[in-house]
Chain A
Amino acid sequence: MTSATETHGTATAVRARELLDRNPASRAERRFGILFVLPALALVIVFRIVPLVWGAGYSLTDYNGIDAPSYIGLQNYAALATDPAFRDSIVNTLILLATLPVWIGLPLVLAILIHQGVPGGRLFRAVYFFPAVLSSVIVGAIFNMVLRYDGSFNAMLGSLGLSPVDWLGNSNTALFALIGVQLWSTFGMNVLIFLAGLSTVPEELVEAAKLDGASTLQTWRHVVVPSMVPIIEFATVATTIGVLTSMFGLIYVLTAGGPGTSTTLPEYLIWLEQGRMNRPGYASAISIVLFGVMAVLALVQIRIMTKNAEI
């Protein structure tokens, strides 16, 4: 059953649209709007949509980059199902996704502390953000020196009487070392996002909570963090997409996907299959699967965000 308020609202919107359509100035503005959007739209179509469709086509072929591709149906996808390297890359992705609460929680806590005015807050804000401006190759080169077997981190452990660990050459530690380095290099961005979000939390709500006798922790838990939900959701979506698509440089420099496949993620496997093993058709199939996974994750998260926004 439609309420009277909703009916009134819909009628008003229709009336407004009619008025806009009749107004020549508005029509001109809309044309201008379309003109402004067109270049971006063209770029998206040419550099995103067309390659995506092209890749989907190649994924159904045995293309080796040299001979003309032959249609092989879903054989590449069937091969993926039995490819241990692909399976391992998916498992690694799931492990990576399982660490997402840390990627969100740590910057949130740090942002809250800075927002509360801890001494040296401005300095910390700059220091946290600094690694985000470094390229992943530079970050990789730095941590290669730190984490290698004869590197500075093991030297520090040695000075404490602890045995050295092959952080990047041991399957039990390599992926977590990689995740730690990526987290170090990118968490500053989320700190900034959360600081921006914190500045939008209404002061009167915080004041009201304090007047009602809420402790600082209770105020943050029941007032500030709930007000930050849309920001947290945005950061979660952006971070999820980021970790699934921007770790190639770090993998390439730090571990080369190894040992074995312990640090191989789908994006690295795509490069390996296409660049080293001359199998663009197979690499395209992995790309399409990765695209599907990311699309589903993004849609789920956007849906949750939209639902929360409506509430």
Chain B
Amino acid sequence: MPANSWTPDQPIVAIHDLHKSFGALEVLKGVSLEVMKGEVICIIGPSGSGKSTLIRCINALNPVDSGSILVEGQEVNDPAVDKLALRKKVGMVFQQYNLFPHKTALQNVMMAPLKVLKQPRGEVEKRARALLTRVNLEGKEDSYPGELSGGQQQRVAIARSLAMNPDVMLFDEVTAALDPETVKEVLVAIKDLAQSGMTCILVTHEMGFAREVADHIYFTDRGVIVEHGPPATFFTESSDPRTREFLSQIL
């Protein structure tokens, strides 16, 4: 293993010329982007434009065909990559929450630190309770996922991922499956996280939210990044006709 020469002033996630196909369907056609530590990135774009695939490649849930993904200087697109070490650094929250239904909220949050990181139970429990409080779920520690609303489940999922103390958080359309009235509570939790300095990469359809929290917005369409920029200019001064059409439909 070569010495890792990554320093915090370099991009924490650097993607270069990423290609990915599912059979004959090319989903990513040469995507490049860079995320600095502490930045909040939103990836927007029409359905099927490869947003979710892109974000899932970052923690090696999807293997890629060619190109490079560096996470803290470590190449993800390498058969010899230590996936477990990578996933300890990169947390992920899914559209469908994917909580473990046979465990309570607290057990869901505690499970990975206990079983994967082998940390002492007392310390893990203390941290897990603090995390649940942080996402406003005090009092729901002993509820099973089936007893919680969608928004509550999604916040448990965020706490579960944070319990591993990741350096980067990935959010894959985390509000898309929620009832409108519970979307806000999840967005508040993410915003709090973003403002605390966590590096976040979000795939989202919530334009207002993206505008509010993102440092940088990427617009993808048909497997390429069409345009990107800080929200202040992205929403008002976008030049590409595809971006303008998408924004006109959604805003």
Q: Do A and B come from one complex?
A: no
Which residues from chain B sit less than 8 Å from chain A, CB to CB? none
Which residues from chain A sit less than 8 Å from chain B, CB to CB? none
